[in-house]
Structure 1
Amino acid sequence: EMEKVKHWPKRVFINNIDCFASKYVAKVHFSQLDRDELLPKLMDCDVVIYNITQHADQVEEAFWAVSALHSEMGNFSGPKMFILVSTVMTWACTKPVDPDDLELPFTDEIFWRRKAHPNFKQHIDLEKRVVKMGKTNRTLFSTYVVASGLQYGMEEQVFHYFFKTSWMGQEHKIPVFGDGNNIVPTIHINDLASVIQNVIELQPQPYYLVAVDFAKNTMEDIVKAVAAVLGHGKIHKKPSEEAFLTKDLSVMEIDSLLVNLWIEGVYLKELLSINWLCESGLVDNIELVVEEYRQTRGLLPIRVCLLGPPAVGKSTVSKQICEYYKLHRIALKETISETITQLVTENEDSAAEAQELLNSLKDSIDQNRGLLDEHLLVKVVKDKLMSNPCKNQGFVLDGFPKTYEQAKKLFSGETLSQSSYYTSKIMPEFVLCLDASDAFLKERVMKLPERLVQKHNYEQQHFLQRLTRYRADNVEDETIAHYFEELDITPLYLEITSNDEPDCLLLLQKIFNTLGKPRNYGHSTWEVEEEGMRKAEEKMRKEAQLRAEEEQREEEEARHRAACWGEWVGGLEMVRQQEEELLGAQSASLKNYLMEHVMPALTQGLIECCTVQPQDPVDFLAEYLFKNNPFDY
C-alpha cells in the first residue's frame, strides 16, 4: 500500500489541447511552438501529458518529447513525470490469454504480451519507448503509459458519428458496421481524467495501466442505446467495408470501432482510487451521456408556441421559423394525419396499444365530423412533443393550445413528478402572440385565392365563427397567454398591420432576435467543401448556359440577317425585272417610231458619209439629212 504524502501544486503540460480528449483531461492554455521553444516549456513542468488517442501525427512529437526530456535529466530542477495517454488499439491483435478459453479478458498485468493493430504500430513503439525512458531513474524521471479505452462523454469523440446521425434524424435506421458483436472497451472522458489525476498523485508502481470502465458492451449495444435515446431507435447492419465510405469517420476511428477486445484494468481496481462517473459503461449511463452531449455541443431544443387569431399568418411565420432554425412544425391537421399513419404501421406489427389508440382516433373523428375529442387531441400533440426529433431540435407549436384548460392538460402530467418532467421537456421556451384587427383579417381573407380559402376553411361564415370564438376565449382572465405568464414565460406580442414584404421581414427579424442564434449543427468541413464545389459548379453551369444562350442568340441573329438579306436580294431582283419589263413596254413604241421614220434616212446618211469621208462628218450628215428629208413639212 502506498504511503500518502503531502502533494504540492504542480505545473502540468498537455499537448494538443484543442482536441476533444486533451481539452477535458486538463484545461491548460497552449500554443503551437517549434521544438526549440517547446523544450524549455516542458522543462518547466512537473508533469507532461501527451495524448495520442485522436491524432496519429502526435506520436512523432511525443516520441521526441520523452526522448528530449530523458536526455535533459541532468538539468532537472526536481522530479518530473511523463504520462502517455495511449489507446487500447495497441492490444487489438493480442493472442488469447488461454486458447482453450477465449472468454478470458486481457489485463494490464500482461501488458508485455500485447500486439498492436497494424495501423497502430507507431503507437506501441512509442509506448515501449516511454516505458524504457522511465527505467533509467524513476525517482528523477518517472514515465507512465495509460492505455485508454474508446472515449465517450461531452463531445463523444469516436462515437460522435452515431450521436450526430441519431440527433439529426435524417436516417431512419442508424448504421452498425460489421456484425456488431465486437466488444468495444470504453471509458468516460471524466473517468479518464480521474485516472490520470490518480497517477499524478499516487505514482503507482506499475508503469503501464489500462483505463477502461467495467462494461462489456458490444458495438451493437452502444449504437442501439444511442439510437433509442436520440433517434428512431432502429439500427441497420452494414458490411464493415462501407464504414470507409463514411466521410465523418477517419480510418483511425473506423479501426477503433471495429475492434473486438475484452480487456480489464486490474490496477485501476487495486491501486487507484477512482471517483467513477460511468463505472458501468456507456449503455447503462446513456441518458447522462446524451444530456452531456447536448449541453457540451449546444444542441439544445428551441421550443416555441405561436398563437393568434385565424388568418393572422401563423402558418407562414411558423414555417419560416422552422426553416431558419431547423425545427419541427406541429400543426393539428398534419400531426393527426401523421399519428394515424404511424399507428397503422405499428398495427401491422401487432401492437395492441397502437391498435387501441388508432380505433379511438377513428371513432372520435367519425363521431365528431372530422374532429377529435379534446383528451385525444391533447394526447396526440403531447406524444408528438415528446418524440425524439422534437426533443432534439425543438418545435413550433402552431395555434395550439387554444384555451387555458387545454394548456394545463397539455403541459401537465397526472402527478406532480410527471408535471415537472413534462414541464422540463415540452414547455415552450418562447411564446409568440400574433394579432391584428378584425377588419384587417377580414380584408386579408377576402383577397385570398379561392383555393386557399377552401384549404384553410376560410369560408365567410366559418371564418367569422372562428374569429368570434377566438376573441371570446381571450377576453377573460384565464387566457392562454395568462397561463404562460403564470409560469414566468413572458409572451412576445406582435401586431400585424401590413401585408407589405418589408414589414413582414421586420416582423421576422424581431422574432429571430428574440429566439437568438440557431442551436444545431453547422456545416461540417466536407459539407462546406461540397457546398463550395456545388456553388462553383453552379457558377460554371450558369456561365456555360449564358454562353450557350449567347451563341444561340448570335446564331439566330445570323440566320435572321441571312434570311432578311436573301429576302431583300430577292425583292431587289423582282423590282429590277419589273423595271426592265416596264422600260421594255414603254420603249417599244419609241423603237418602232425610230425604225420607221428616223433610221432609214439616218442609215442612208451614214452610208453616204462613210463613202465621201468629208472633213466635217457631222456637218455633212446634217446637210445630207436636210436635203434628203423624206418628209416635207
Structure 2
Amino acid sequence: MADEQKATSPRNKKVFINLIDSYSSECIGKFLSTCVVGMSLEDAEGEEENEVTFQIVGTVETKTDKRRSRFSSEEYCALGREELLQRLMECDVIVYNISEKSEQLDEASWAISALHSEINHFGGPKMFILISTVMTWALTKPIDPDDLDIPFTEEDYRRRRPHPNFKEHISVERLVLKMGKTKKSRLSTYIVAAGLQYGMGENIFHYFFRASWLGEVSKVPVFGPGSNVIPTIHVNDLAGIIQNIIDHKPKTHYLIAVDDSNNTFEDTVKAISSVLGPGKMEIVPKDFTQADIDFLSINLRTEAVFLKNRFNLHWVCELGMVASIDHVVKEYRQNRQLLPIRICILGPPAVGKTTVAATICKHYKVHHVRVKNVIAEKISQLEEALQMDNQEESFDMAAQELLESLKASMNQNGGRLDDQLLFQILREKLNSKPCRNQGFVLDGYPNTYDQAKELFYGEEEAEHDTRSKMPLFNQNIIPDYVFSLDATDEFLKVRVQNLPESAVEDTHYAQDQFLRHLAEFRDHNSQDETVLDYFDELEIHPEHIEITGDKDSEYLAATEKIIRAVGKAKNYGPSAEEREEEERRNAKERMKPLAAEKEEREKEAKEAAKQATQLEEWSKNLREVKRQEQELLEARSIPLRNYLMKNVMPTVTNALIDCCKIKPDDPVDFLAECLLRNSALVE
C-alpha cells in the first residue's frame, strides 16, 4: 500500500537557476521554493492533498562546505559542460539569469544549444526561461518622434536596439527564441526583459541606500542630469513573473517585466534620501563601474501590457520604488540587518561616562548625544538657517522665536536650559535620521524619573493598554540598553582633585559646582522613583558597572562589559581602510608577545654566546698559565736533577748494589748507614 501511494504521489517540479548565490537569482529561488505549481492560475482552488512544489537546484559562484541557502536542494560549483548538461536534463524548468553578470552569456548560449541538441532524449517537456535586461531596448527609436512619452510594449520587441555594451545580450535572446521554435511541445523558450531590479537588500541602487543610511554626506550624489526615466521592477515581482510563466505557459514568448512607475533617476534617489538620509541630493560625477553607469543612464519608457492582462500577479511594488519607498526601505534594513543600537549611560559626575560613551560610539559607529553639545548644535543650526534666510531675503519666524527662547532660557537659568525646551531639542536629535539609522549613546541624561518619562514619552495612546502600569514611551527613541557607572563619593572627589587645572576651569568640575552636582545626583537616586526605576518599569533593566580605579584599564574593562552585553554591531561596520588599520593594529598586538619572546631568546643567546666566549678565553688562559708553570718548574728542576744525577744517584746506586750483595736483615738501616758514610763525598 505504501509503495502504491508513493507511485501515485506527484513528483516535484525541478527548477534549475544559474548562480543562486547572486542577488536576483537567490531572490527568485527563494520565492519559487515557497510556491506550489499552478498556484498563480486564476482557477486554482484551495490546497490539494498532493501538491506539486518547486524543487530548486542551481550553480553557485563560490564553493563552500555547506549549502548557502535553505531553499535549494542541490548546489553545483565549477561543473564541466558534460556534467552540467546532465544536471540540466534532470530539470523541468531551466532559468538562466543574464541580467546581472555578463560572464553568464556564453554559458547561457551553450546551455540552450546543448539542450536543443538533446531534445529527442527528453524524459518530458522542458521550459527554458532567459532573464535578460531592458538594456537591449536602450537605443530603440521612439514610436512617435513627436510624442516621446508613448511607452514600448512587448509587441515592439522586433524594433528594439540594444545599448552598445549589450549587443551580446540581444544575440543570446535571439538564439533562445530560435531554439524554442523547433519542437514547442518538447522545448519551449521565453525571454523576460527585466527592468532594473530593486528590493530585498538592494543591488544596483545599494550605493544610494548606503550613502543615505550612513549620513556621511550632506547631499546624496547623482551623476548625469538625473532626468532619465529608469524602468524598474521589484525583484520579488520578477520572481512572480517567472512563476506565472511556468504555470501559464503563455503563447507570447517575449515579455517585458517592469512596474508602472516610470520614475526618473532623480526621483528615485530623492525618495531614498528623503526616507533614509538628509533628504537632499546633488548632481555630481561619481566613480561607478561602467555597467552601473550604463544601467543608471538608461532613458526608456516601457509598459508591461501582457503581464497585466494575462498573468495573476500579486504585486509587491506595482507602482514602483518611489511610491513604495517605505516598504522597500523596510526590506533593505531587514535584509542588511541594519538595526540601530540605542544606549544610555548614567552615573555620578566625574565617573567617566563621557570617556566610556565616546569609546562605545567609536566601536559601534553610533552618535554621541550629550546635552551640552546638542544645545550648542541646535543654536548653531538656527543661527546658520537665519543667516541663510537673510541672504535669500526670506524669514523663518519659528526659527527666530526658538532661537530667542533658547538664549533667554539659558540666560535666566545660569547657562542651563529649561526642561521643556531641552526635551524638545533632545527628542528632535534622537528622532533625527542619523540616530534613527545607526543609533546613539545618550550620555548622562536623563537624571530623574520625571525627566525620563517626559523625554521618552510616546503618543500612541490608542494602542496603550490602560490596565498596564508601564508608562507610555516612544519605541523609536527609547534606549535598548542602560548602563549605570557607579563609584564612591571619596573616589570621585579624589579624581576631581587630581584633574589638571586646565581641565577643571569653566566646567562643572570646579570644587563648589562638583560637590553641588554630586549632592543633587545622590538626592535624585535616593527618591522613591529614580531614573533607573523608570527603565526597570519598561523592562529595560540597567546594568551596574563599578568604577574603582583611575586608570585607562578601568575604562577599558567597563567598555568591554558594555560591548559584551550589547553584542555585535548591527550596521555596515568599519570601512575598508578602517578594517585594514584594525588588522594592522591587531597584527601588531599579536606580534608584541612574539617580538618580546624573540628578543628574550636573542638576549639569552647573546648572553650564552658571551659566556661561552668568556669560558673559552678563561680556559685558554688557564692552559697557558699551566703551560708556563710547567715550563718554569721544568726550568727550575734542571740544576737539582743534575745535582742528583752527579752526586746522589751514584751513591744510592752503589748502596743498593751492596745491599743486594750482602742481603742484610734490615735493608733500610743498611742503606741509611751507607748514605751516611758516603755523605762526606757529596759536594
Question: Shorter chain as normaliser: what TM range?
Answer: 0.7 to 0.9
- The secondary structure found in structure 2 opposite 1:119 is helix
1:149 to 195, 198, 201: 195
Q: Please say if 1:498 is aligned against 2:549.
A: yes
User: Aligned in 2, Cα 1:40/1:176: closer, same or farther, shift over 3 Å?
Assistant: same
Post-superposition Cα deviations, 1:322-342, rounded to whole Å, max 9, x if no partner, equal 111111000011111111111
Aligned AA (1:354): A
> Greater shift after overlay, 305-314 or 32-41?
32-41
1:341 to 380, 385, 393: 380
- The secondary structure found in structure 2 opposite 1:273 is coil
Post-superposition Cα deviations, 1:108-165, rounded to whole Å, max 9, x if no partner, equal 1211111110011111111111111111122211111111111111221110111111
Q: Please say if 1:253 is aligned against 2:298.
A: no
In structure 2, what is the Cα distance between the partners aligned to 1:56 and 1:377? 56
User: Aligned in 2, Cα 1:528/1:261: closer, same or farther, shift over 3 Å?
Assistant: farther
1:99 to 138, 145, 160: 145
The equivalent residue for 2:361 is 322
1:65 to 97, 111, 117: 111
Preserved contact between residue 127 and residue 145 of structure 1 (Cα < 8 Å) = yes
In structure 2, what is the Cα distance between the partners aligned to 1:531 and 1:143? 52
Map 1:194-273; keep pairs closer than 5 Å.
Answer: 194-238=240-284, 242-243=285-286, 246=287, 249-273=288-312
In structure 2, what is the Cα distance between the partners aligned to 1:502 and 1:340? 37
Query: Deviation at 1:178?
Result: 1.1
Post-superposition Cα deviations, 1:189-230, rounded to whole Å, max 9, x if no partner, equal 111111111111111111111111111210110111111111
1:386 to 423, 431, 437: 431
Post-superposition Cα deviations, 1:58-100, rounded to whole Å, max 9, x if no partner, equal 1111111111111111111111111111111111000101122
In structure 1, what is the Cα distance between the partners aligned to 2:385 and 2:28? 45
Preserved contact between residue 86 and residue 148 of structure 1 (Cα < 8 Å) = yes
Aligned AA (1:391): R
Post-superposition Cα deviations, 1:17-50, rounded to whole Å, max 9, x if no partner, equal 1211111111435232222221111111111111
Q: Please say if 1:519 is aligned against 2:564.
A: no
The equivalent residue for 1:137 is 183
The equivalent residue for 1:578 is none
In structure 2, what is the Cα distance between the partners aligned to 1:477 and 1:23? 56
The equivalent residue for 1:280 is 319
1:425 to 460, 476, 492: 476
Query: Deviation at 1:57?
Result: 0.6
Q: Please say if 1:487 is aligned against 2:528.
A: no
The equivalent residue for 1:24 is 27
User: Aligned in 2, Cα 1:534/1:435: closer, same or farther, shift over 3 Å?
Assistant: closer
Question: Identity over aligned residues, as a percent?
Answer: 52
In structure 2, what is the Cα distance between the partners aligned to 1:59 and 1:268? 26
User: Aligned in 2, Cα 1:465/1:218: closer, same or farther, shift over 3 Å?
Assistant: same
User: Aligned in 2, Cα 1:65/1:522: closer, same or farther, shift over 3 Å?
Assistant: farther
Map 1:436-447; keep pairs closer than 5 Å.
Answer: 436-447=487-498
Q: Please say if 1:115 is aligned against 2:161.
A: yes
Preserved contact between residue 474 and residue 480 of structure 1 (Cα < 8 Å) = yes
Query: Deviation at 1:529?
Result: 10
TM-score, normalising length: structure 2? 0.74
User: Aligned in 2, Cα 1:494/1:187: closer, same or farther, shift over 3 Å?
Assistant: same
- The secondary structure found in structure 1 opposite 2:95 is strand
Preserved contact between residue 15 and residue 30 of structure 1 (Cα < 8 Å) = no
In structure 2, what is the Cα distance between the partners aligned to 1:47 and 1:132? 18
Preserved contact between residue 356 and residue 555 of structure 2 (Cα < 8 Å) = no
In structure 2, what is the Cα distance between the partners aligned to 1:295 and 1:161? 17
User: Aligned in 2, Cα 1:70/1:455: closer, same or farther, shift over 3 Å?
Assistant: farther
Query: Deviation at 1:533?
Result: 13
In structure 2, what is the Cα distance between the partners aligned to 1:269 and 1:463? 72
Query: Deviation at 1:416?
Result: 2.0
Query: Deviation at 1:505?
Result: 2.2
1:352 to 377, 394, 397: 397
Query: Deviation at 1:501?
Result: 3.3
Query: Deviation at 1:315?
Result: 0.2
1:463 to 514, 525, 530: 514
Aligned AA (2:415): G
The equivalent residue for 2:330 is 291
Query: Deviation at 1:528?
Result: 8.2
Query: Deviation at 1:175?
Result: 1.1
Post-superposition Cα deviations, 1:436-471, rounded to whole Å, max 9, x if no partner, equal 111111111111111222253111111111111111
Aligned AA (2:405): S
Preserved contact between residue 269 and residue 281 of structure 2 (Cα < 8 Å) = yes
TM-score, normalising length: structure 1? 0.79
The equivalent residue for 1:593 is none
In structure 2, what is the Cα distance between the partners aligned to 1:482 and 1:263? 60
The equivalent residue for 2:12 is 9
Query: Deviation at 1:366?
Result: 2.1
1:177 to 223, 246, 250: 223
> Greater shift after overlay, 262-271 or 472-481?
472-481
Preserved contact between residue 222 and residue 283 of structure 1 (Cα < 8 Å) = yes
Across the aligned residues of Structure 1 and Structure 2, the Cα RMSD in angstroms comes to: 2.3
User: Aligned in 2, Cα 1:275/1:8: closer, same or farther, shift over 3 Å?
Assistant: farther
User: Aligned in 2, Cα 1:357/1:409: closer, same or farther, shift over 3 Å?
Assistant: same
Preserved contact between residue 16 and residue 88 of structure 2 (Cα < 8 Å) = yes
Query: Deviation at 1:363?
Result: 2.0
Consecutive unaligned residues of structure 2, counting only runs of 5 or more, are: 1-8, 31-71, 390-394, 465-470, 589-683
User: Aligned in 2, Cα 1:366/1:7: closer, same or farther, shift over 3 Å?
Assistant: farther
The equivalent residue for 1:555 is none
Consecutive unaligned residues of structure 1, counting only runs of 5 or more, are: 1-5, 539-633
- The secondary structure found in structure 2 opposite 1:145 is strand
User: Aligned in 2, Cα 1:533/1:429: closer, same or farther, shift over 3 Å?
Assistant: closer
Query: Deviation at 1:313?
Result: 0.5
Aligned AA (1:359): E
In structure 2, what is the Cα distance between the partners aligned to 1:387 and 1:421? 21
> Greater shift after overlay, 516-525 or 179-188?
516-525
Query: Deviation at 1:403?
Result: 1.1
The equivalent residue for 1:400 is 445
Post-superposition Cα deviations, 1:471-498, rounded to whole Å, max 9, x if no partner, equal 1111233211111111111111111111
- The secondary structure found in structure 2 opposite 1:146 is strand
Q: Please say if 1:310 is aligned against 2:323.
A: no
In structure 2, what is the Cα distance between the partners aligned to 1:421 and 1:21? 42
In structure 2, what is the Cα distance between the partners aligned to 1:148 and 1:109? 16
The equivalent residue for 1:376 is 421
Aligned AA (2:536): E
Preserved contact between residue 81 and residue 143 of structure 1 (Cα < 8 Å) = yes
In structure 2, what is the Cα distance between the partners aligned to 1:341 and 1:255? 42
Query: Deviation at 1:523?
Result: 5.5
In structure 2, what is the Cα distance between the partners aligned to 1:472 and 1:287? 46
